Structure formats: structure tokens, C-alpha cells
Amino acid sequence: MPAMNEPKLIAGNANRTLANAIARRMSMHRGMSVSLVDARVERFNDQEIFVEVYENVRGEDMFIIQPTSNPANDNLMELLIIADALRRSSAARITAVIPYFGYARQDRRTKARTPISAKLVANLLTEAGIERVLTLDLHATQIQGFFDIPVDNLYAAPVFALDVEHNFRGRLQDVTIVSPDVGGVARARELAKRIGCALAIVDKRREKPGEVAEMTVIGDVKGKTCIIVDDICDTAGTLCKAAEVLIENGATEVHSYITHGVLSGPAVERITKSVMKSLVITDSIEPTEAVKAAPNIRIVPTAPMFAQAILNIWSGTSVSSLFETDTLWPIYEGMYSR
């Protein structure tokens, strides 16, 4: 049975721009004004986080929009405290909309005496009163199994497919999708399948985290327009090196599509000076002024997809329908032509 009350949105400070965009998009879908719940999320002088909700949320279906990006710990605590405030205010259901799920790279024990931090975060979210999680391109899909509550993991691939088809129209036959490592082959293969392009792999060998010792291209990229696909770009060292190796192996140009633009440290400078013609990221993480100003970085919106997913969750209809490019195209109509 569809919910009787309207869905209500509340946001922390991690990505207010995306939260407002989702609210605007939902207003278009609903034919009525949807705005963020009036609340304050502030810090005391000692940096303790304080949350106060000014509107009645008793019996409401609440959606907290808060990526746990840099500063990851602060944004995670904001999410937990907002959830606690809503639970103690008798909200009927609390869904955490986490466009970028921090700590997802710590999903297993790679060495002795190390934590599985992604599982710890899952436990924290559940104990805070969150009853459902909506996220985008989890670094490892098995993280969904860390939760004992429903997790809806959306994919950027359908949106990226629309963008590639639009921007590379007429030359898709020359496009090759590239995975920057063996672990990301499934993600790259998915996009390659959607747009009907060839697939290649850059095999890398790390001596230690953050450094790449050697790279080898598996597949034919000579004379091709290469598109590197990955979920996270942090310092961009691996990405820029992979682009150089592809050019050295005969690629005519290199572009990259990355879901989460963490882009920390020297990343923006590296990308600006790299051989990549363009880097496309989503707005799952609030872009810095440096990212916005970079001439070869472009941002595609996720608000249309998240707004529709929230409405589907609220109404009890399928979220997996958003995994298909043909389903998303009407939502993004006006932005992309086919």
C-alpha cells in the first residue's frame, strides 16, 4: 500500500548542493514544493556536533541526505546524530541516503591485525536507528551484506552510458572502455556492454599503497579513444599514470569516467596537467572550487536518479528499474539526446 504522508528530506552539511537539487527534482516529480526539513546541524566550540529539528517529524518517512566524504568522521557523526534525533522524535522510518559511502575501501582484512571498518560503520548506522540505506556505486558490492537492513545500491553506469552516447556520438566504434585494474573489470565490462564497445585492462602492480610500480595494457588500444572507468579517484596518481600508458600503447585520446571524485591532495593539479582530455565525475561528493575551475573536469548530476529512487522507496515500487539506461533516459531528458 502506498504511503499516505509525503516523503521528507533532511540534510547534513556534507553536500547541501546535492540535497537541494534532489528536493527541487522531487518537486518537479510530485507537482508540489518539496523542501529540506528545517533543522540546524552545528558544532560547539569543542567541535561536538549538535542537531535540532524545528519541524514535526512524528510518523514521517524521513530521508537523510549525507555522503560520508572528507571530513569522513565529521560527516559520519552528523549522519548518526541526525538519525538519533529523528528516532527520538518518533519518525516512522529513517532512510540514510549516502551518495558516497566512506570507509568502503576497508571492506576486508588484507593483513593481520587490521579492522574491517566498513562493517563497523554498518553497525553504527543500524544502531543509530537507520532502517534502510540508499547509496551509489559501493566500492565493494558485498558491503551490502554487512547490513541487516535493506540496502539499495544504485549504479552510475546507466548515467555514464547516456553521457558517452551523447558526447561520443558518431564515433562509438572507435571507443574502448578501460578498467584501470583487474579488480574493476566487472564495472568496466558493464559500461562496455551497455554502449557496445570493446574492453581493455590496465594491469598494475603496487609495491605499497599510493604508488604504482608497473603497468601493462591487456587488449588492443592502438588508434582507439579510451575511456577509463572506475568508482573512486583519490589522489589521481594511478589514473594519470594509466592514461599515459594508454597513450604510449597507441591510444589517440584518453577520457575517464569516475563515480566518486574524492580528488584529495595533488589530484586536481595532476589531472589538469595529465594527458587525459577529460575527467567526468558525479556530484556524489561536493566539488571544491578547484574541481569546478579545472578545465578538463566535468560533473554530471545524480539528483534526478536519487530523487526518483527516493520516491520509489517511499511508494514501495521498484528501485532496480533505475539500473537500466532506458529507464533513466526520460529522467535525464533535456540533458542528453540519443
Q: Do 224 and 321 share a domain, yes or no?
A: no
Residue positions forming the annotated binding site: 46-48, 105-106, 139, 181, 206, 230, 234-238
Respond yes or no: is residue 222 known to be catalytic.
Answer: no
The answer on 148 and 14 residing in a single domain is yes
pLDDT reading at 161 higher than 60: yes
Are residues 262 and 188 part of one domain?
A: yes
pLDDT of res. 1? 38
Among 111, 119, 204, 208, the active-site one is: 204
Task: Give the per-residue pLDDT at 212.
Answer: 55
As a whole number of Å, the CA-based R_g of the chain is: 20
What backbone torsions phi and psi does residue 194 show, to the nearest 5 degrees? -65, -35
Same domain? 262 vs 143: no
Please state whether the peptide bond connecting residue 71 to the residue before it is cis, i.e. omega within 30 degrees of 0.
yes
Q: For residue 207, is pLDDT > 90?
A: no
Mark whether 110 and 64 lie in a shared domain. Answer: yes
> What are the binding residues for Mg(2+)?
139, 181
Q: Are 255 and 276 in contact (CB under 8 A)?
A: yes
Q: How far, CA to CA in Å, does 100 sit from each of 70, 116, 166?
A: 10, 18, 26
As a whole number of angstroms, the distance between CA 96 and CA 79 comes to 8
Domain encompassing residue 183: 157-300
Q: What is the reported pLDDT for 214? A: 81
Q: Which residues pair with 154 in a beta bridge?
A: 136
pLDDT for residue 3 is more than 50:
no
Nearest in space to 332 (alpha carbons), one of 294, 293, 296, 306: 306
1 belongs to a structural domain: no
pLDDT at 183 over 90: no
d(Cα 190, Cα 210) in Å, to the nearest integer? 26
Q: What is the mean pLDDT of the chain?
A: 93
Overall number of domains in the chain: 2
pLDDT at residue 224 above 90? Answer: yes
Same-domain pairing of 19 and 146: yes
CATH code of the domain in which 162 resides: 3.40.50.2020
Compute the half-sphere exposure of residue 250: CA atoms within 13 Å on the CB side of its CA: 11
Considering the domain architecture, whether residues 193 and 182 belong to the same structural domain is answered as: yes
d(CA 14, CA 7): 21
Secondary structure (3-state) at 171: coil
102 assigned to some structural domain: yes
* pLDDT tens digits along 302-318: 999 999 999 999 999 99
154 three-class SS: strand
Pair (327, 191) in one structural domain: no
Same structural domain, 102 and 180: no
